[in-house]
């Protein structure tokens, strides 16, 4: 979800238990402050705010990296912390900064808590990129991303692309070897938003498979329902390829070969 959707949910006290916040430093700081306020101090109580600022609030735990590492000891302490119910708030809030610094051992220790989270606990992981996190961690969290803060998509402008995506999810190689489809895809070379749109389609698909949320574009929803048995792990692989292709195109990599790489990943 984007930040606006996240704010709307928090304003109605509609909290999820596990979040991943992805974006630049400014976005992550803004999101962190808003989350802490809405969960622990929605009434702007001065005393509570002071406890938050001084990091003495009993229902707030902030985990930070040391030397680019979040140790397993810190995660074990967190596990002990969430076993006990909140003292003065409705929730206990755990903030994990620089989630990309979770090593495999500490990430696996965190995973069990994400899987068996208590109803009174909210865990929020902050990272500059979801692709630096284990797939098992990502699959158990709701994403809040800065990628689409100012990017609104009119999918009516990309109906042909949606048709091609639909065909590709059927594992039909016709999608990339049909001349009409090829010409259409190649025509998108100068569309600066094309890969953002492509990424957004599969990001929404991942969220749909995870949450079954139907509050999305009707065209997308029709496609997603049709392919509801598609593996989330596969969608995650596709997102990684789209992001890598996007970065490579900035270095003048062949556009057609890049498209083929994306669709071959979808089709395999």
The domain limits of the chain are: 3-145, 155-267
Is the CATH number 2.40.10.10 carried by domain 3-145? no
Copy the structure tokens of residue 54: 């001084």
Which pLDDT score, from 0 to 100, does residue 107 have?
92
Contact 198, 262 (CB under 8 A): yes
Residue-level pLDDT at 251 = 65
206 torsion bin: left (phi>0), alpha (psi -120 to 50), beta (else): alpha
Among the listed residues 2, 5, 42, 8, the one whose alpha carbon sits nearest the alpha carbon of residue 21: 2
Which pLDDT value is given to residue 59? 98
- What does the alpha-carbon distance between residue 224 and residue 208 come to, in Å, rounded to a whole number? 7
**Residue 185 Cα to chain centre, angstroms:** 26
Give the span between the Cα atoms of 130 and 199, in whole angstroms. Answer: 13
Q: 3-class DSSP state for residue 133?
A: coil
CA distances from 256 to 104, 244, 264 (A): 36, 15, 12
pLDDT score at 195? 86
Question: For every one of its 268 residues, what pLDDT tens digit does the chain have, with 9 covering 90 and above?
Answer: 777 777 777 777 677 789 999 888 888 999 999 999 999 999 999 999 999 999 999 999 999 999 889 999 999 999 999 999 999 999 999 999 999 999 889 999 999 889 888 889 999 999 988 778 887 898 888 889 875 544 567 788 899 999 999 999 998 887 778 889 899 999 998 887 788 889 889 988 988 888 888 888 899 999 999 999 999 889 988 988 988 888 777 666 788 888 889 999 999 8
Antiparallel, parallel or unpaired: β 121-127 and 18-22: parallel
What values do phi and psi take at 179, rounded to 5? -60, -40
Please give the model's pTM, rounded to 2 decimal places: 0.59
**261 three-class SS:** helix
């Amino acid at each position: 979800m984007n930040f606006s959707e996240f704010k709307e949910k928090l304003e109605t006290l509609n909290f999820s238990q596990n979040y991943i916040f992805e974006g630049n430093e400014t976005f992550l700081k803004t999101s962190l402050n808003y989350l802490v306020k809405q969960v622990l101090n929605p009434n702007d109580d001065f005393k509570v705010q002071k406890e938050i600022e001084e990091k003495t609030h009993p229902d707030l735990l902030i985990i930070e990296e040391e030397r680019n590492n979040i140790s397993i000891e810190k995660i074990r302490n967190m596990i002990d912390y969430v076993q006990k119910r909140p003292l003065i708030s409705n929730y206990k809030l755990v903030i994990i900064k620089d989630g990309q610094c979770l090593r495999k051992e500490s990430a696996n220790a965190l995973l069990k808590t994400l899987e068996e989270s208590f109803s009174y606990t909210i865990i929020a992981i902050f990272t500059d990129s979801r692709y630096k996190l284990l797939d098992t961690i990502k699959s158990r969290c709701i994403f809040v991303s800065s990628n689409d803060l100012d990017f609104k998509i009119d999918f009516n402008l990309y109906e042909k692309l949606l048709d091609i995506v639909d065909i590709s999810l059927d594992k039909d190689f016709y999608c990339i070897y049909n001349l009409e489809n090829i010409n259409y895809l190649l025509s998108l070379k100068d569309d600066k938003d094309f890969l953002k749109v492509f990424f957004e389609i599969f990001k929404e698909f991942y969220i749909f498979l995870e949450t079954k949320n139907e509050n999305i574009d009707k065209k997308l929803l029709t496609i997603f329902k049709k392919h509801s048995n598609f593996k989330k792990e596969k969608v995650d692989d596709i997102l990684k390829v789209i992001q890598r292709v996007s970065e490579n195109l900035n270095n003048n990599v062949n556009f057609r070969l890049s498209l083929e790489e994306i669709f071959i990943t979808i089709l395999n």
